[in-house]
Copies of this chain bind each other. A is one copy, B any other.
Amino acid sequence: MKEPYFPEPSARFAQAVESLFEQRVVVLGHRRPDGDCIGSQVALVRCLRALRIDAVAVNPDPIPRTLQNFVGDTPFQNCDSLPEGEVAAIYVDCSDRERSGLELAERFSNPVLNVDHHVSNEGFAATDLVISDASATGEILAGFFFDNEYPVDAVTAQALYLGIATDTGQFRYRGANQRVFRICERLCGLGASPADAANELYEREKPGRIQLLQRFLASFRYECEGRVCIGMLDPSVYEETDTLPEDSENLVDYARSLEGVDVGALIEERDGMIKGSLRAKDNRFRVDLLAKKFTGGGHACAAGFNLDGTLSEFYPTFTREVEAHLLQVDEGSLDQ
C-alpha cells in the first residue's frame, strides 16, 4: 500500500462523491479557463462518470484553442445548455463562486464541493477541500483519485498532468516539489505524455502571438530602481495582431524574468477596463496583497486584478502603489 498523498481530505472527497450517486452533477471552472481549470474539469468529470455518476463540465467561456485537444470525449457545456432541475454543483480551481461568472455563481450558489489550491479560497461549499500548498488543482485531484483508488484513464491522466505542468510553469515555480514529481511519474504510467502535452501547449503558436509578444517586449518600462518591470498592451493590440485576449496568457513571465526584477507586471486596457497580472520571484513579495489594493487577489507569487480605467490614468497610480508595497515588504511591515 502506498503512502496516501492527502489522507484526511481524500477521505472527505470520497464521502462527498458517495453522496452524488443518483444525482446529476455539474463541474464548474472559471472564466478565461487555463490548463489547470480545463484539466481539473476534464479529470473530475471523467472520474465521476467512470464511477457511474452523471457529470458534465460547464464553463462560462470557451475552451482556449491550445487546450481543446485535452478534452477528448468529455462532455463540456456552456451556460446556454445548462441542465434543468435539481443539479449538484462542484467548483474546481475557483477561489470563489464569482470566478465562474455571475450567471453560474447565482444558479449554483449552494455547491456540494469546492476543490482548489488558491490560498485566498475561504470556502463556500458544503465540503471545502482547499489545499493551498498544492501546485495545482490537478495535483489535488490526482492525489484524491490515487488515495481512493478511483479509475484514471489516459485522457484523465493527461488532463491532470496538464494542470500540473501549466500551473507550475513547466516545473519552474515553487510548487514543483518531490510530491509533484511522484504524482507525474504515476500519471505517465497511466498514459500521460509530457511531450504530447507540450506540443499542444507550446508548438502551436500563431504568427499574431509572436507579434503580440514583440509589442509586449517593446513596451517594457522599469520602475522602482529596476525592481519592477511593467509591460503594457493597449486596447487596439489584439485587433492589430489578429489575436484574442487569451493569447496574452503567460506574457507577464517575460517581465519577471529579468535579473534584478522582483515583480513583473502586465497591464492591459480593454473595453474601458484595466486588467493587471502580477508575478513575483519570491513569495515574500506577496503580490496577492498588492493585487488586493486594486480589488484583486491570487497567490503570493502570482496574482491579478480587474478594474475600470485607462492605461494612462492607471499607470502612475500603479507605480505609486507598487513602490509603497515594496517599501512595506523591505521593512517587514506588510499589513496582512
Contact = CB atoms under 8 A, between A and B. Distances in A.
A218 interface: yes
A324 interface: no
A255 to B, nearest CB: 9
Contacts of A207: 220, 222, 258
Contacts of A177: 188, 194
Interface stretch (A17-25, A74-82, A167-175): A167-175
Contacts of A257: 202-205
A177 B210 CA distance: 29
A6 to B, nearest CB: 17
B189 A178 contact: yes
**Copies per complex of this chain:** 2
Interface string A176-202: 111001101100110000110011001
A195 B173 contact: yes
A182 B182 CA distance: 6
Nearest to A199: B281
Contact of A172 (B170, B182, B214, B258): B170
B218 A214 contact: yes
B210 A258 contact: yes
B210 A195 contact: no
A292 interface: no
A112 B178 CA distance: 35
Nearest to A259: B204
A5 interface: no
Contacts of A203: 256-259, 281
Interface in A250-279: 254, 256-259
